[in-house]
Every structure is written in C-alpha cells, then in structure tokens.
Chain A
C-alpha cells in the first residue's frame, strides 16, 4: 500500500460537471496537487475556475470522473476532519462581528476548545499586522485590510488545504502585490497546500510553482506550465526578463484559446 503522505492531496481524474439544463460547466479535468504545493489556475471569466474550486471544497459534487481529496471524496474529507480554508472573491466578513470575532468564527464552527481561541486569534492578527483592529467592525477597514482578515480567518484553523477564489481581484495593483508577497510568506512558513484561482497572469506566475491554464466554457485544462523560480521570491522578481518571458507564455496560451 502506498504511503498516504506521498499521495497527492487532491487528485482530479477526468472530472466533469454538468448542471441540469444541461449546462456543461467543466469537462474532463485532470490534475494533481501534491502536498505542500502551491498551484494557480488561470482562465477567462466564466470558464469554471470557481466551479473547480467548489468541487475540491466539496461544496458541489462532480457529475463525471473521479475527484479525491486526501484519498476520499471531497465532502468526506472535509467532514472527516481535513481542515480546508476558503478565501472568497470578496472578504465575506460577517458585518455584525468585530474583526476578532470574524476570525473566531471557524474556531467556533469546528468546535476548537475555547481556551485556544485567544492565542490563535492573536497570532492570526499578528501575521498580517492588524493587532490594533481586533475590535473594529469590518466596515471600518479598507478593502485590502478586509482581505487580509479574510486570509487569516481561513488560516486560523491551521488548514492543510487553502483554496483561494480570485481573492485579490478587486484590489488596486500595489495592494495586490503586497498581499501576494504576504501570501507567499505565509505559505513558506505554514506549509499548507494551495490552489489559487485568478485571471491575472502576473499574479499566477509570481505566486505559484505551476500555472494551470483553462479554456473557456466548458472549462478544461489545456496547459500545465511549471514556474521554476526559487523561493523566497522577492518583489524584484517581477522586473526580471525570465519573469516577463513566462508571463508572456501564459498570456499567449490564454489568447490562443479566447474566442
């Protein structure tokens, strides 16, 4: 029997999803996410990137193919104690809860002992430098700060798998770059596995070890581009010729498939 630690964390084998209608959202998607890997998925709007992420999270079920997370179905994995973090397109903070109570929510829902809450929340806030805002309400924070809170809320349960659904799409360029760097630092120190959905090619190349390119609807993976840059990656990487070359390669792949 194979050692589970060497098995891929996520294994998609010819996974497809057809909504009643019928609308084919995703067809024949095959890829694997190894433990500790950080992979980006790029593709045009509406190609089913978010659908793929929701399948992995076990929020919806695939209609064809085989999808396994930690060796079981996605929903089972989640219900059997695999901790997943999910970061949405916008921060999705409960407006009536303070920042610290928003971060506390996953701990409450997963019934993590109360005695641990304070430490975990403090650590989470320190990760993104928002200690002074523990008692603020979400609407008192800027968009970038809210996104940081959403990020550490997803990390507060110490997840093995972090799923990010175009989390920085609504932010300005500088804030986005900063958050990319924050995210990479968190990944390096905490060693979770991540799937990062984006339509921004530069973000994908900067963040990930591999970039998966998806076709327009029905979504299908058409390329798997390895990104060989060493870690830690610094902001200067964005200015190098190799970076530009890889970004151009992914862009041209996208352009070729766009109608």
Chain B
C-alpha cells in the first residue's frame, strides 16, 4: 500500500514540481516587468479570468467535447465498416484507397466553404470536420489488422473449410482489435483537434459556441487572459480524452496481450 503511494509520488512528483516552478517564474516575470495583460497575462489573471468565465467555458467545453466525441465515434464506426470492405478484395482496396488518402491530405480550410455550403454553420459542420480528420487512422490501422493475419491461422481455417464469413468474423475482425485500438488512440486526439479547428472555420453563427470559437472571439477582443483560460480548457479536454482512451485500451488489450 505504502509502496503504491510512493510510486504515485515518484511518478507525479517531477512533472508537478516543474509545473509549480514554471507557474512561479511566470507569475514573477509578468509582475516584475509589468508585462501588459493583452500580451502575456500572469497565471493569477488567467485563473481569475477562468473563474469569471467559468459558466461560458464549461458550456463551450461541453459543446466541443460532444462534437469531438460524436466525430470520433462516427469515424470509429465508419472506419471499421470501410475496413471490412477493404479486407474483402484487393480491387476494392485499390479503387478506394486514393480517396481515403484524399481525406488525410485535404486541408480543412480549403473545403470549409464546401462544408458550410452543404451543412451550414454550427455544430453539425464541426462534427463533420472532426469526423473527417479522425477517419483516416482508423481505416489504415484496421485494414492492416484485418490483413495481417498469420498464414498458419489462414491454413487452420482452411483445413476446416471455413467460409469467407467465418474468416472475417472469427479471424480477421478479432485479429484487428489491437490495431483498431491503436488507430482509435490517434484518432481520438485528432477528433478533438478537428472539433476545435472546425469551430475556427465553420463553428460560428450558431447560438452556442465551442472552445475553438471562444478562442477566436477572445483573441479578436484582445482578452488574452480569457484566451489562455480557453486554451487550458482545450488542453484539459485533450488530456481527459487521452486518459480515457488509454484506460479503455488497457482493458480491451488484456486479452490480446502478446505471447
């Protein structure tokens, strides 16, 4: 019991210590040199701004968080289904893969007008941007996992005259789970970024705003302390997504632990 506690301290201590040192140096320099708030607010001012705008920030966090989650979950489902199709024939793979790469390479800024044109400003478009950014890692990882099946497993299934259906659901799909999880780790982070970036370009105009829009807004009004508070809230969102997906992955991968 004590040793677990000690390990926790050893693990958390150094980064926490550094954080406190940085906070102190930051506070001291901004106060001593009278740095203007619009250029670089002190940690205390950021804290005060966060306190003051807590309601707004929490609402924005909720909106961005939901957009990112919806984007991530839909890219997970769509990516999985697309990989199922890809695993079935090299022809499908060859025909469709270039368009999957298109998703990966197209700059969101460039197609933002198109998205706005089709889906309008606001939440729905933000989800679509988040979905598009998160989709590619799922497709590549999951497809790799479905195809990277040990030759002897394929022979084992063939010995028992396994159907295509059996091969898919009893071999390829379970085999791709660790790959799917690896893809989901990348994709979950990207979905958060996608949601925030999406709010920059297609998120305004709706009645309730996410964190990306909030950052744009406070930057335009030179409320740098609020901007810092919003950025920190974004970091908090990214961090919780990271922790959550790692917990889920550990849970799922227990069974797939390498021999």
**Interface residues in chain A, defined as those with a beta carbon under 8 Å from any beta carbon in chain B:** 54, 57, 59, 78-79, 84-86, 88, 90, 92, 94-96, 105-106, 108-110, 137-139, 157
Contacts and interface: CB of A to CB of B under 8 A. Distances in A.
Contacts of A79: 161
Interface of B: 150, 152-153, 155-162, 166, 170-171, 174, 177, 255-259
A138 B160 contact: no
B174 A96 contact: yes
Interface centre among B156, B177, B255, B258 (most CB of A within 10 A): B156
A103 to B, nearest CB: 13
Nearest to B174: A96
Nearest to A98: B255
Nearest 7 pairs of A and B residues by beta carbon: A109-B160, A139-B259, A92-B152, A109-B162, A86-B159, A96-B174, A96-B255
Nearest to B158: A59
Nearest to A106: B160
A138 B177 CA distance: 17
B162 A88 contact: no
B159 A137 contact: no
B161 to A, nearest CB: 6
Given A108-B170, A139-B259, A92 B160 contact: no
A57 B154 CA distance: 13
A106 B162 CA distance: 9
B180 to A, nearest CB: 13
Contact of B257 (A59, A88, A139): A139
Contacts of B150: 92
14 contacts: A57-B159, A88-B152, A88-B156, A92-B156, A94-B171, A95-B255, A95-B256, A105-B156, A106-B160, A109-B157, A109-B166, A110-B160, A137-B255, A137-B257
Given A59-B158, A110-B160, A110-B161, A94 B152 contact: no
A158 B50 CA distance: 71
